[in-house]
Structure 1
Amino acid sequence: MNRRSAQRLLAATTAAVAAISLSGCTLIQTLQNGGGQVDPAEIIDADLAPELREYYAQELEWGPCPDDSGADKKAECATALAPMDWDNPDQGEPVELALVRQPATGDNPQGSLFSNPGGPGASGFDFVAQSYGFFSSDLRENFDLVGWDPRGVGRSSAVQCRDDAGMDEYFYGVPDNYAQMTPEQQLEWTVAKSQRFGADCMAGTGELLGYVDTNSTVHDLDLLRALVGDPKLFYFGLSYGTDIGAKYIDQFPERVGRVVLDGATDPTVPGFEVVIDQQEKFADSVRSYLQDCIEGPECPFQASTVEEAEKELRQIAEDADETLMKNADGRVFTSSVLQMAVIAAMYDQSTWQYLTIAFDQYLNANDPSTLFLLADSYYGRDPQGHYDSNMFQAFTAINCLDYPRETDPAKIKAFNQRLNQVSIFPSASTPEEMEIGDLACENWPVDTKVDKLEPVTGAGADPVLVVATTNDPATPLKWARAVAEQLESAQLLEYEGEGHIAYDEQDQCVNSYVDNYLITGELEDAGETKHC
């Protein structure tokens, strides 16, 4: 999931329908980079402040991974320490960063390839430990694959808001008189809900809650690069992970090695515009799904055209909020659950079949269980009600620090007018009645760290590769094009297809091109867009 779509949907649909011990004395004398000795001066900037040099001088202690990591026996794990506040590194408790490394299978590895799978809030540790097969055999042969949980996430010093029951209430809870509430009452209830959640996050997380922004993570990544002994960063970022990568390119251009940004986000797009862009592309994907469904032999929709099917879909949403059907586990089925189920299925065309099954069960047997399963899969919730990570707690915390906060009522109304125009699920309330912005961040207990969104340029950086899927609903193609244009030395690779993340589609054209670049540094016709 990228950025704000889940956060926005949760707020809008609900309201609309309702200590440290650092070895600072000496630097590491010998650092390894793919089997060759590297002078520490090549790893650590000469002008680094003394209080930061202590962090860069720590030595990682790689050892067996935790039993619950899901990593194989060859994997190694370690914990690094980073300053909580990079601007004031001698203040506050250090942040712990959990890492996992899958050693290269070849005899002459080139160094480390870091990766982040997105979110914000997704676990890079789990991604490398448990989804090792995402990377081709060629990449596994040439690189030590390194994943880490960014600050605020998972096994690292993490945002802590609520237990499983509390997250169920946040995502799925509705008051008993939900169907009888006026839009004004629904909005008041949602604001209070957001305030309670923010207060719980502050109480559970403490000071760290104000330091989980992406710019801090970018500095963490440079620290980790140095600690594994690489003069330059080799990095494979996916979705929000491209945000980390692009900002690294911009802030540390002299340390950029080979970087792939697949499913790129545009750092200049404001929060409201992110929602508009994503909802417009999700709507396109839903229409493609509906077309595919009604052309098939067993589509549960009665419609013969996409336009008619859209109307049916909207009617299902309206009916859900009136009937408030209960799932077998007691959770109430609302339009919010429906929307999350639909969006979850749009990330990959291979999941469309499960959405069709879900609609068939709901429409013909009054059974919303598979729609709940789809929504649950998005949130990382298992059938026993356990959430597999703190992703959506970190998601909100990171987003609320990364974007300027918009509270102007006129701009919020204009945003809702535009959202109603592009969304596949327009609000039942008229735009004039709506004053719903980013309720989570408007009521967040710590201030944003960003006053203005800036483009990335990466002046002087080595060439990087930006990858995009033409019909990606989560990170629209125009974002990747914008990032490739902003960066001074970037090539764009466009994959013609549906879904999120091109490399994951196992297209030979895409994967061979990405692999060759990461392994050799070569780009065909650099500067020109390549198509697959």
Structure 2
Amino acid sequence: MATSRLFRTSAAAFAATALLISGCSSGSSSPDSAASPSGRTEAGVQRPAEAASLAPLPAATPSGLRPYYDQKLSWHPCGVAGFECATMKAPLDYAKPSADTDLKLAVARKKATGPGRRIGSLQVNPGGPGASAIDYLQQYAPQPAAIRARYDMVAMDPRGVARSAPVECLSNKQMDRYTQTDVTPDSPAEVNKLTSAYRSFAKGCASRAGKLLGHVSTIEAARDMDVLRAVLGDKKAYYVGASYGTFLGATYAGLYPSRVGRMVLDGALNPALDSRTVNLNQAAGFDTAFRAFAADCIKHKDCPLGTKSVDDAGRQLAALFKKLDAHPVATGEQRKLTESLATTGVFAAMYDQRAWPVLREYIAQAKSGNGRGLLSLSDSYYEREPNGTYANQMYANPAVNCLDLATAFTSPDQVRAALPSFRKASPVFGVNFAWSALNCAYWPVKPTGTAHRIEAKGAAPILVVGTTRDPATPYVWAKALAAQLSSATLLTYEGDGHTAYGRGSKCIDNAVNAYLLNGTVPPKGKHCK
């Protein structure tokens, strides 16, 4: 069961760095439109006056936090050759630090290889929330040898994620059932089944995660980043964040503007938006991505969605989903391909246009009664291993989001009232996004955050990167974040897929590398194709 607010890193759609955001947010913006900083109405950009700005923390470290800032890490070889790992202590509650409740956060690094003067420690985060930064660092990032030469590459799994006090919610078999729950209910009975699934998921998280569930917010994760900066011996924080990682990085900049070194935020979120706006924007973003896929598909004689038009392709995909809703198809294992699993599989392929040929093949298979291909895409999205085990990403994800911001909807009736606007945003995916946004309504911990602008006044230059046809983090969000951050420059990639750095554009890669290596900010308004 895919939930709303879906994000993914720049790794291929099949990689284990899939990102998913549950539908939790708050704020005061209109659910359908807002004004850009220039005053021009544009979906996804909120009027600056409608959300308060995140206030920076005091520059001086409180005495109660000194033991954390002064700790020494014990490094040891781990994982991939050349990497070292350590465990860093962080307070469960920054307002009431206590050694009795300290969290142990996993950290990994690979020291600068040279040649050239070492610049500092470059922290990376692939997004989510819930994706393992350590796995991402060791498997994918960063590609340029020049960056590896000048920086110690560092990753920390955020609190509640992977190796860092992971949030757990369901057994593997329970998670299998949860992912198959119908998220486009057609009757009161199906609505009750969906809300029951949300309640059971939340209850499982509460019973298994305990007090941790109230302390996995993005602000707390950003404070952990500053402890790590100090422990590594850096006066400034250097950072590359993708997708949700842009929200984490921007939050750090807002809390500690004077400590920002060089920061790249790729596939940016707009922190000033309420959840309904976010979900509506994402429905439209996935619609844009699907239409790009469909425009390419209908050029091929074997397109499983026909060759008539993009609109007709959308109708055919919707018809396939409806058919699977009534009659799931075989996959070669006990699980059948349901509508929900098929939709998740299609979502997974929308993040990277390199997956489009495979998606064409798998849709054709599903139409002929073989659901194995789309199920495999869905499993990669959910980080389900062939042996049936799940990573904790899908548990950490709603835990963070439901704490960061209030739920988009509080009742099924509110969802029903919003369905027309979601269908307008995306005829194929809108209903799914609307009902998925209800999940935080049943969360056992009240949110501690609110929607807010992030200005980070006094920060060094920050580079925001946006992709024009990004499905998960629409381009207008990158424009909005760049407008909010007082020192930001927007770098635009005119293309498809989620995020831009390291995805094949030499223009983007050269601009980002020049910034990271030399501090050179791209010219204002720079576009790459």
Under a length normalisation based on structure 1, what TM-score does the superposition of the two structures give?
0.85
Percentage of pairs with the same residue: 37
Q: Residue 38 of structure 1 aligns with which residue?
A: none
3-state SS of paired residue (1:514) = helix
Q: Residue 369 of structure 1 aligns with which residue?
A: 372
**Alpha-carbon distance in structure 2 between the residues aligned to 1:238 and 1:411:** 32
- 1:90 deviates by 2.9
- 1:197 deviates by 1.0
Q: Residue 110 of structure 2 aligns with which residue?
A: 102
Q: Residue 280 of structure 2 aligns with which residue?
A: 276
Q: Residue 502 of structure 1 aligns with which residue?
A: 500
Partners of 1:2 and 1:475 within 8 A in 2 = no
- 1:79 deviates by 0.5
- 1:173 deviates by 5.1
From 202, 217, 238, the equivalent of 1:234 is: 238
328-337 vs 45-54, which moves further: 45-54
Which of 1 and 2 has greater Rg? 1
From 160, 163, 167, the equivalent of 1:159 is: 167
Letter in 2 for 1:249: A
Partners of 2:409 and 2:438 within 8 A in 1 = no
Under a length normalisation based on structure 2, what TM-score does the superposition of the two structures give?
0.86
Letter in 2 for 1:459: K
Query: Cα RMSD (Å) of the superposition?
Result: 2.5
**Alpha-carbon distance in structure 2 between the residues aligned to 1:480 and 1:427:** 22
Q: Deviations over 1:474-507 (max 9, x none)?
A: 1111000000000111100001111011013121
**Alpha-carbon distance in structure 2 between the residues aligned to 1:498 and 1:421:** 22
Where structure 1 has 5 or more consecutive residues not aligned to the other structure, the ranges are 10-43, 66-70
**Alpha-carbon distance in structure 2 between the residues aligned to 1:73 and 1:284:** 41
From 373, 378, 381, the equivalent of 1:378 is: 381
The question of 1:529 aligning with 2:525 is answered yes
**Alpha-carbon distance in structure 1 between the residues aligned to 2:3 and 2:129:** 7
Alignment of 1:47-446 (within 5 A): 47-65=60-78, 71-90=79-98, 93-107=101-115, 108-132=117-141, 134-172=142-180, 183-364=187-368, 366-387=369-390, 389-407=391-409, 412-425=415-428, 436=435, 438-446=437-445
Partners of 2:159 and 2:216 within 8 A in 1 = yes
Structure (1 or 2) with the greater helix fraction: 1
152-161 vs 500-509, which moves further: 500-509
Partners of 2:4 and 2:437 within 8 A in 1 = no
- 1:324 deviates by 2.6
Partners of 2:324 and 2:337 within 8 A in 1 = yes
When residues 495 and 446 of structure 1 are mapped into structure 2, their CA distance, relative to the original with a 3 A threshold, is same
**Alpha-carbon distance in structure 2 between the residues aligned to 1:266 and 1:142:** 31
Alignment of 1:459-474 (within 5 A): 459-474=457-472
- 1:386 deviates by 2.4
Letter in 1 for 2:247: D
84-93 vs 195-204, which moves further: 84-93
When residues 189 and 377 of structure 1 are mapped into structure 2, their CA distance, relative to the original with a 3 A threshold, is same
**Alpha-carbon distance in structure 1 between the residues aligned to 2:77 and 2:4:** 33
- 1:167 deviates by 1.4
When residues 456 and 206 of structure 1 are mapped into structure 2, their CA distance, relative to the original with a 3 A threshold, is same
Where structure 2 has 5 or more consecutive residues not aligned to the other structure, the ranges are 7-19, 24-56
**Alpha-carbon distance in structure 1 between the residues aligned to 2:4 and 2:238:** 24
When residues 474 and 7 of structure 1 are mapped into structure 2, their CA distance, relative to the original with a 3 A threshold, is closer
Partners of 1:405 and 1:441 within 8 A in 2 = yes
When residues 173 and 480 of structure 1 are mapped into structure 2, their CA distance, relative to the original with a 3 A threshold, is closer
When residues 435 and 151 of structure 1 are mapped into structure 2, their CA distance, relative to the original with a 3 A threshold, is closer
From 473, 486, 489, the equivalent of 1:488 is: 486
Paired residues in the alignment total 480
When residues 511 and 3 of structure 1 are mapped into structure 2, their CA distance, relative to the original with a 3 A threshold, is farther
Partners of 1:267 and 1:455 within 8 A in 2 = yes
**Alpha-carbon distance in structure 2 between the residues aligned to 1:500 and 1:148:** 22
**Alpha-carbon distance in structure 2 between the residues aligned to 1:370 and 1:421:** 29
- 1:408 deviates by 5.6
3-state SS of paired residue (1:504) = coil
Q: Residue 454 of structure 2 aligns with which residue?
A: 456
Q: Deviations over 1:285-340 (max 9, x none)?
A: 11111121111132123341112111111111111111133332121322211211
3-state SS of paired residue (2:305) = coil
Partners of 1:293 and 1:356 within 8 A in 2 = yes
3-state SS of paired residue (1:333) = coil
**Alpha-carbon distance in structure 1 between the residues aligned to 2:427 and 2:73:** 49
Partners of 1:2 and 1:474 within 8 A in 2 = no
